[in-house]
Amino acid sequence: MGESHHDDSDGATATEAAVQLLRRDIVTGALTPASKLKIRELKERYGIGASPMREALAQLSAQGLVQQSSQKGFRVPPLSAAELLDITRSRQLIEVEALRLAITHGDASWEDEIVASFHLLEHYFRRVVPQPTSPNDEFETRHARFHHALIAACPLHLVRSFCETLYEKATRYRLMMRTDYGFSNDCVIAEHRTLMEAVLSRDVDGAVREHHAHIQLTADILLDVLAHSPEQGDDRFVGQ
């Protein structure tokens, strides 16, 4: 089961370290979805004091990555088909607009980063084929970098950061799939390549259509997985 027990690895303050570790473990699923987050346990899990722990939890709860009820502490937000649908539709609405703006505003360096991150994504499969899931997940890093690069040229900072939030929430669901599926490598690359080509050729409508479809596809797969695995949450009161 899950075990970490790092102590240091602090860039600066203990709170920041706690935020990073917590975020990682929640997005990854190392902390199971509907479970309770008792500060005592987290405290000894990460070797960080209670105060920075609470501060980190407060920060993440404001960001929607942790739930907080008034005098009943914190818990990992449960996964639900309803939320996944909300996330998916929101991304299809917003991220697509961000992409549109990025395409019309993007310069050469924007294109370069897209190409570079794509090749990193592509090369991941050539080297590390057999491993289905590595814990620190290099693949996720590269995938995130590619999707980040796409909308990096969107001039609206707030919209971009909202997209990042949505992407992170979607990642929680996506990582869930990893155990069940081996995620057919070639297919994934093809998907992303056509998307990239549409973007680089400044074909706005094509890129938008492609991006919309890309989000829809992964969502469909995930919804299917969700439907067949109603077991979630280890603690009582799973309901949202």
Partner DNA sequence: TTTCCCAGTTTTGTCGATAAAAATGTTGCT
Partner DNA sequence: AGCAACATTTTTATCGACAAAACTGGGAAA
The window from 11-19, 111-119, 142-150, 175-183 that contacts its own copies (CB under 8 A) reads 11-19
| Contacted entry of its own copies, DNA, none for residue 194, CB cut-off 5 to 8 Å set by kind | none
28 scored as a contact of its own copies (CB under 8 A): no
**Nearest 5°: CA angle at 142, between 111 and 170?**
100
How far apart are alpha carbons 149 and 199 in whole angstroms? 11
SS3 content of the chain, % helix, strand, coil (to 5): 65, 5, 30
Q: How many residues of this chain bind its own copies (CB under 8 A)? A: 31
**Residue 128 CB-density burial (10 A; 0-12 exposed, 13-18 middle, 19+ buried):** exposed
Selected binder of DNA within 32, 35, 49, 232 (CB under 7 A):
49
- The distance from CA 99 to its chain's CA centroid, rounded to whole angstroms, is 18
Torsion, CA 181, CA 35, CA 62, CA 64, rounded to 10: 30
Binding mask 76-115 for DNA (x = CB under 7 A): ----------------------------------------
How far apart are alpha carbons 5 and 44 in whole angstroms? 8
Binding mask 160-179 for its own copies (x = CB under 8 A): --x---x--x----------
| Contacted entry of its own copies, DNA, none for residue 182, CB cut-off 5 to 8 Å set by kind | none
| Positions in the binding site for DNA (CB under 7 A) | 13-15, 36-40, 48-52, 54-55, 68, 70-74, 236
